[in-house]
Amino acid sequence: MIPDLSVVWVIVFVLVLSVLLDRLLLRPVTRVMGGREETIRAARELAETARARVQGATDEFEAKTRTARVDVYQEMEKKRRAALDRRGEIVAETRREVERKMSDATLRVQTQVAAARAQLERDADALATTIVERVLGRKAS
């Protein structure tokens, strides 16, 4: 059985159409799709690189923040200790001054007491002499 000439023509047209479709449509579409896939792959790689850099920068920022926070806390603790030491010095100085003033005041009071006793003894002697002279009516010797 010999195929009809129209069948041959249909086969030829289908082959020509296949070649034309391949060359004019499928290859360019495939090339565009390949280019897009390559662009997408490059964009993903770029995004992954950027994400890694951002993660590194974030980690570095957090590490520096922790370090700065530790430094601030250490400085605060140092200043707190210095303030407590200064407070202790002020309290000790005040205590020494109070004790010195108390000692001075005690000494002054003791001096005044001694002077008052001496004065009282003189006054008592004078008063006793006056009483004796009045009672006896003459000067006591």
Confidence check: pLDDT of 140 > 70: no
CB distance 34 to 26 below 8 Å:
no
The per-residue pLDDT for range 36-70, each reduced to its tens digit, is: 999 999 999 999 999 999 999 999 999 999 999 99
The per-residue pLDDT for range 88-116, each reduced to its tens digit, is: 999 999 999 999 999 999 999 999 999 99
* Global confidence as pTM: 0.48
| pLDDT value of residue 133 | 83
| pLDDT value of residue 112 | 95
- Of 35, 37, 18, which Cα lies nearest the Cα of 26? 18
Q: Per-residue b/e over 27-49, b at no fewer than 16 CB within 10 Å?
A: eeeeeeeeeeeeeeeeeeeeeee
**Confidence band, pLDDT 50/70/90 cuts, at residue 79:** very high
Written as six digits, the tokens of 140 are: 């006591």
Place of tokens 């974030």: 58
